[in-house]
Amino acid sequence: MSIPELPVCAVIITYHPDYDHLATLLSVLAEQADNIVIVDNATPGAAGLFSEFKASVKNLDVIVLDDNYGIGHAQNVGIEFAGKKKSKYVALFDQDSCPEHGMIDKLLRTAAQLEGQGVRLGAVAPCYKDTQAGVLSSFVRVGLFGFSRTHYIQGQGPIEADFLISSGSVIPLSVLDDVGGVDASLFIDHVDTEWCFRATSQGYKLFGVADAVMLHSLGDHRVRFWFLRWRTVPYHSPFRYYYMFRNSVLLQRRAYMPFKWKLADIARCLRALVFFGLFSESRMACVKMMIRGVRDGISGVTGKLKS
Whether the predicted pLDDT of 147 surpasses 90:
no
Query: Does residue 226 sit within a domain?
Result: yes
Query: Does residue 248 sit within a domain?
Result: yes
pLDDT value of position 225 = 52
Q: Of 216, 235, 252, which residue is a domain's last?
A: 216
Per residue in 6-45, pLDDT tens?
599 999 999 999 999 999 999 999 999 999 999 999 999 8
Residue 219: pLDDT band (50, 70, 90) is low
Domain that holds residue 226: 221-299
Q: Of 162, 189, 216, which residue is a domain's last?
A: 216
CA 123 – CA 166 distance, rounded (Å): 9
Contact 207, 114 (CB under 8 A): yes
The separation between CA 195 and the C-alpha centre of its own chain, rounded to angstroms, equals: 10
Q: Identify whether residues 267 and 186 lie together within a single domain.
A: no
pTM of this prediction?
Answer: 0.91
pLDDT value of position 133 = 58
Altogether, the residues listed in the chain come to a count of 307
pLDDT value of position 3 = 46
Query: Does residue 152 sit within a domain?
Result: yes
Strands 8-14 and 35-40: parallel
